[in-house]
Amino acid sequence: MKNTILPQNLNNKITNIVNGFQRPFWVANIMELFERVAYYGQATILSVFLRDHLKFDEVTAGKLSSAFGGLIYFLPIFAGALADKFGFRKSFSFAFSVLALGYFLIGSTGMSGFNQLYSGFDKFYLLLVILIFTAIGGSFIKPSVLGTIALTSREETKSLGYAIYYWLVNIGAALGPAIAFLVRDKFGIEFVYLVSAISCFLMLISTLIFFKEPEGKLNEKQPSLLKQVENLFQVIVNFRFMIFLLIFSLYWIMFWQIFIIVPYFIVDHIDKNAPFEIIESMGAWSIIFLQLIINRLTKNIPTIQAIISGFFLSSFSWIVMLLYPSIPTIIAGIVVFSIGEMTQAPRYYEYIADLAPKGQEALFQGFAFLPISIGWLVGGTFGGWLYKTFGKVSDGHDTLFLILFGIGMVATALMFIYDKIVKKSQQNV
């Protein structure tokens, strides 16, 4: 009897999960997975590509990283408004077209076959233009995916929907670096961008063939562009929401150092031949195996409390690395960071989704990426300066990691204070 009941129960659970989401939910999430393969594949090698292959110093490489990473997460604020206006299918098509071309152009700046073509250009400004172009395309992905999730999930499955989204994002974040390492080792670091370009081109084809506009989107009354601009400013003048996002940006300043400082540190001080891409991806692998479990364990914790707990846990990753800098402790530190990340991240997107008025789902999800943008914009240049000042000398490592730990503690304290003030104001209403 048990052998027949258990599989049937399992089958019923799977059926309920699948039926809890419309078809565009699954298509959008699978496309997001491959887009993350492309993004994190190149993100793990970007700082080393700029410094060791194109011969920029750490600060200049940080400025370019800041421009790209900052814009790709800042522009969704505006791209989200356009996605709400023109629809998710058109937004996906535009995004993947630009990303495919942009990633190819970035890689071409480091390919010997293009040396003559680029010989008359200042490589810094050439890369800056290409990176900005690529970021414009990439900025449409996140609000379109998250807007699709919001419209294709039932109320009772919404929390699970964002957990699935975050889980698939991290599968991409794990596979991307692994592929990047294999490509760098076999063909050269510049060809990682060719793989990213191919991945995005395939997703363009997938959009045209498989993605259908969600029914909820088709049934929405499309606002005018003037109304979208008005909606945009209404969000900007929401002072409490902006403070929340600014506090969150401190967390992302910490996060991006895994892709800025950590690869420099591994190559310069531990093992120049180490597969730093694989090491950086350990956080993503942790999330793949633990995200759904953590989501289940923390689902009854109030949203802000889950965020505060996540901040606190992630901050201690730098103490783990500080204790005895080595590949095992760096991996352990990244895993600790990820436990904090998976505690807060899905709840963060759920919190934003609950705030969004009907018809503004993509706009609000675009603003959800403002902290990530600020983290890149500040963190790229700051991380480059921090490493050049403290990381390149053997006796500066403690200071380097303590500064990052301090940023995390400040973020934790500020979010705690924010929660107290919000609760007090709600009680007074």
Position 200 scores a pLDDT of 97
Whole-model pTM: value is 0.82
Position 416 scores a pLDDT of 94
Does the residue 367 lie in any domain? yes
Position 157 scores a pLDDT of 79
Position 1 scores a pLDDT of 44
Query: What's the number of domains the chain is made of?
Result: 1
Nearest of 26, 248, 235, 229 to residue 145 by alpha carbon: 26
Q: What are the distances in angstroms from CA 13 to CA 21, 192, 199, 239, 256?
A: 13, 39, 32, 42, 37
- Summarize the confidence of residues 115-132 as an average pLDDT: 93
Does the residue 10 lie in any domain? no
Does the residue 5 lie in any domain? no
Average pLDDT across the chain, whole number? 87
pLDDT tens profile 11-48? 555 555 566 688 899 999 999 999 999 999 999 999 99
Which one-letter DSSP state was computed for residue 21?
A: B
List the domain range (segments joined by +) for residue 45.
16-428
Does the residue 8 lie in any domain? no
- Summarize the confidence of residues 157-164 as an average pLDDT: 80
Does the residue 7 lie in any domain? no
Question: Which CATH number do you get for residue 334?
Answer: 1.20.1250.20
pLDDT tens profile 183-210? 999 999 999 999 999 999 999 999 999 9
Position 301 scores a pLDDT of 86
Does the residue 149 lie in any domain? yes
**In what helix (H) or strand (E) does residue 268 lie, and over which residues does it extend?**
none
- Summarize the confidence of residues 130-158 as an average pLDDT: 88
Q: What are the distances in angstroms from CA 125 to CA 132, 380, 406?
A: 10, 17, 34
Position 421 scores a pLDDT of 87
Question: Is the pLDDT assigned to residue 427 strictly greater than 70?
Answer: no
Residue tagged 């109030």 (tokens): 302
**20, 153 Cβ separation under 8 angstroms:** yes
Does the residue 169 lie in any domain? yes
Position 230 scores a pLDDT of 78
Q: Both tokens of residue 76?
A: 């969704």
Does the residue 9 lie in any domain? no
* pLDDT band (50, 70, 90) for residue 288: confident
